[in-house]
């Protein structure tokens, strides 16, 4: 059975060119959790390998989605670093918590993480 169309396109095929906006829209559609790149490629009538390359370029921070007029503007504006101060007053020290249950009884032991080696020694002795 021949599945190839009998009519060949007249003239040379031309390489498609996609706008920056179209690329950005399709790549953004791929960013959701559990999204199938192949399904999005089929929906937009693209080759899945081409779409995968666009996504990899976008994740690699390459400037394939930036038009040439925007390059000069983007290179002049550097991303700003915003320092954040953390409130350490209400932070509890880290601890090791071991909970052992047997039938309807349970024992919980809390141990400071700074003494992790002593906790491990105690557990070995207790479980032996």
Three-state DSSP at 101 gives strand
| CB-based contacts of 39, cutoff 8 Å, min separation 6 | none
Dump pLDDT digits (tens) for 98-124.
Answer: 888 888 888 888 888 888 899 888 888
Q: Is the pTM of this model over 0.75?
A: no
CA–CA separation, 21 and 25 (whole Å): 6
Among 6-10, 60-64, 71-75, the minimum mean pLDDT is found in: 71-75
The residue assigned the tokens 């101060």 is: 85
SS3 26: helix
Please state, for a pLDDT cut of 70, what percent of the chain lies above it: 77
Max avg pLDDT among 18-22, 71-75, 84-88: 18-22
Token pair 């693209």 in the structure block, residue = 46
């Amino acid at each position: 059975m021949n599945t190839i169309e009998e009519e060949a396109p007249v003239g040379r095929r031309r390489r498609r060119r996609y706008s920056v906006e179209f690329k950005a829209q399709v790549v953004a559609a791929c960013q959701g959790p559990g999204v199938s790149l192949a399904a999005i490629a089929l929906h937009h009538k693209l080759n899945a390998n081409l779409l995968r390359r666009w996504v990899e370029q976008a994740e690699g921070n390459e400037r394939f989605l930036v038009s040439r007029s925007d390059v000069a503007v983007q290179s002049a504006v550097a991303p700003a670093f915003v320092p954040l101060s953390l409130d350490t007053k209400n932070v509890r020290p880290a601890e090791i918590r071991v909970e052992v249950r047997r039938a309807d009884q349970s024992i919980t032991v809390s141990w400071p993480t700074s003494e992790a080696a002593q906790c491990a020694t105690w557990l070995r002795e207790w479980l032996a």
